[in-house]
Structure 1
Amino acid sequence: MSVICFSRATLPAMPWKNGGGTTQEIASWPQGAGLDSFGWRVSIATIAAAGPFSVFAGIDRSIMLLEGDGVRLFTHDGRVAHRLDVPHRPFAFSGDDAIDCTLLGGASNDFNVMTRHGQWRADVQVLDHAAAVEAAPHGVLLALRGAWRLNDEACAEGEGLHWADASMAWQAMPESEDARLVAVRIVPA
């Protein structure tokens, strides 16, 4: 599979079954896999109402606030208690956990990475400076702020690229002073 460029503005939004938000899928693998059969999945979600997160048994998850006031994530047994209220700070948790959330204000947008435990592992990094992104067979790069040069690809804020089944390495070069990029490398577990 080749490198695919995308823009947040053109990703279709799918409503959640519980009506509490929407999801824009950036990429999943294998291509066309459903929610019960993906190896990995990267998406952007809008959380518009308090309520439970879907349980994804056997899935390792990472969530990062993009915009908005954020949410409080918790389990009713107290094992998880986390305020997701600072943008661009990834928080990892198990999809096995029955996570509930309350809004800390209005709706929020977040970046989500899910990998099947024992098969894939995600390395999620937020970059504010030029960096080499090590080769990985799968991955996603998204410009969170400013403009970036990713090898020969130009990416403006809200744009990115993803790849699968190809060992790709990247030179990430910011092209504006306040630039920020999220780099997700997905490698075998």
Structure 2
Amino acid sequence: MEIIRYAELKAHPWRNGGGVTRELARHPRTSQDNAWDWRVSIAEVSRAGPFSVFAGMDRVLTVIDGELLLLSVDGAEHPLEKYRPFRFSGDADSAGALPTGDIRDLNVITRNGAFKGYTSIVELSKTRAHPVFEGQFGILLQGQATVSPGTPGGPTPSAGTPAEPPAPAAPEPERVELNRYDAVVGSDTGTPEIVGRGFLAVVSIDPAGEPGTD
């Protein structure tokens, strides 16, 4: 089970001085500059100004802290409220204004024709675990939560086959506490399961042509 600790990520200042970005993940990991096919990051925006152009890319931006980002995309204004994902082209001429103060946003950027990114915001439960599958990241936005590796189930005996004696009950998997903005990397083997109280961003990166869920 892999957890990306937000507190350990390096902040990269924007060239225009309007904010900083912390990168959670990219693919390929060894790519330089904008040669990657997808990237997931969190930005702190402290000053109005233009956003970087990502040619040939698709963007999903979600305000995760603060009240409002007034995003201008090719001259059209879009008021983005907290926890409302918004998709736009990385080729667009875009800029942000901060009518209610500083904000923090979650960015999912994917290369057109190669991948498609999706962001959904879910409310956590203490009684029903939320799984994080392969190709997904679960990012704690608010509240308290823990994560544990899921327990894969065994095969079901076919009809007429004597049932095996029940195996001894496995110990409960150890639960690991998450801090705000920590990201859980999904897996289909021992799928991580998150429980708690608060809100979780689920980022899905799908190969182009496969269905996703907004």
Give the alignment of 1:68-147 within 5 angstroms: 68-78=66-76, 81-84=77-80, 86-129=81-124, 130=128, 133=131, 135-136=133-134, 138-147=135-144
Name structure 1 gaps, 5 residues minimum.
Answer: none
- Number of aligned residues: 179
Q: Deviation of residue 13 (structure 1)?
A: 0.4
Q: Which has the higher strand share?
A: 1
What is the CA distance between 1:156 and its match in structure 2?
Answer: 2.4
Equivalent residue letter for 2:78: H
Say which SS state the counterpart of residue 9 (structure 1) adopts: helix
- For structure 2, the 5+ residue unaligned runs are 150-174, 209-214
Among 185, 205, 214, the residue aligned to 1:162 = 185
Find the counterpart in structure 2 of residue 15 from structure 1.
13
For 1:43, the equivalent position in structure 2 comes to 41
Equivalent position amino acid for 2:91 in 1: D
Residues in 2 aligned to 1:155 and 1:89: alpha-carbon distance in whole angstroms: 26
In the TM superposition, what whole-angstrom CA distance separates every residue of 1:69-105 from its partner, at most 9, and x where no partner exists?
4321113543xx2112x22221111101111221113
TM-score by length of structure 2 reads 0.74
Secondary structure of residue in 2 paired with 1:146? strand
Give the fraction of aligned pairs with identical amino acids, expressed as a percent. 32
Normalised TM-score (structure 1): 0.83
Distance 1:63 1:56 in 2: 13
Q: Which has the larger radius of gyration?
A: 2
Change (3 A) 1:185 1:170: farther
Query: Over the residues paired in the alignment, what is the CA RMSD in angstroms?
Result: 2.3
